[in-house]
A and B are shown apart, each in its own frame.
Chain A
């Protein structure tokens, strides 16, 4: 079946540091890939997405590139801020239109 694996957290960084959260997936066919973010006390929000190989999703300074050859969708940001502290979930959507999530990675950014 489909699965998503992402690095365990917490990831602790200082402000303005470079962020990478790794995500790899296993799926049949050609899934769409997503990153969701969950801020404390709130629901998951869609951060960015990519629907086909080599697509790059970007939003709020975050970006991720759909790499079919390595089945990866790593999340990156060049300079994190304290307000980016949250839990980040990588997910895929298969042909059946159902989401499969990774375990989530908590990011803590120290001011």
Chain B
């Protein structure tokens, strides 16, 4: 099946620094990419939806200036956590949907665990 990769898989950073997470669709073109956040023992919460070449649509309560999303190509989206703080520590999962696909053709990356000290 289709593969979505994320890099890095794990990152530890100091408070106040910025962290960039990459999400790539390896064998298909992703017109839409999704970024989720998952706290321990909780649901995946959708943070934002991005379409290639346009600005991301953020869910209510998600700070767009803190979580910068760039979807510059059909195979790459990046999430930058700016001025990270300990409360940003979480598991971030990206997902990619192929052209014309419904939700069942939404492929997920393995996730990135962020720890902010």
The answer to whether A101 and B110 have CB atoms under 8 Å apart is no
Q: Are B108 and A103 in contact (CB under 8 A)?
A: no
With contacts A45-B1, A46-B104 taken as known, whether A103 is within 8 angstroms of B42 at the C-beta atoms is yes
Q: In the complex, what residues of B have CB within 8 A of residue A32's CB?
A: 103
- Chain B residues positioned under 8 Å from A101 (CB to CB): 36, 43-44
- Counting chain A CB atoms within 10 Å of each CB, the highest count among B46, B95, B103, B108 belongs to B103
B106 sits at the interface (CB 8 A): yes
**B42 adjacent to A97 (CB under 8 Å):** no
20 extra interface residue pairs, beta carbon distance < 8 Å, beyond A43-B108, A46-B104, A102-B43: A8-B41, A32-B103, A34-B103, A36-B108, A42-B110, A43-B3, A43-B4, A43-B95, A43-B107, A43-B109, A49-B104, A93-B103, A97-B102, A99-B46, A99-B106, A101-B43, A101-B44, A103-B42, A104-B38, A104-B43
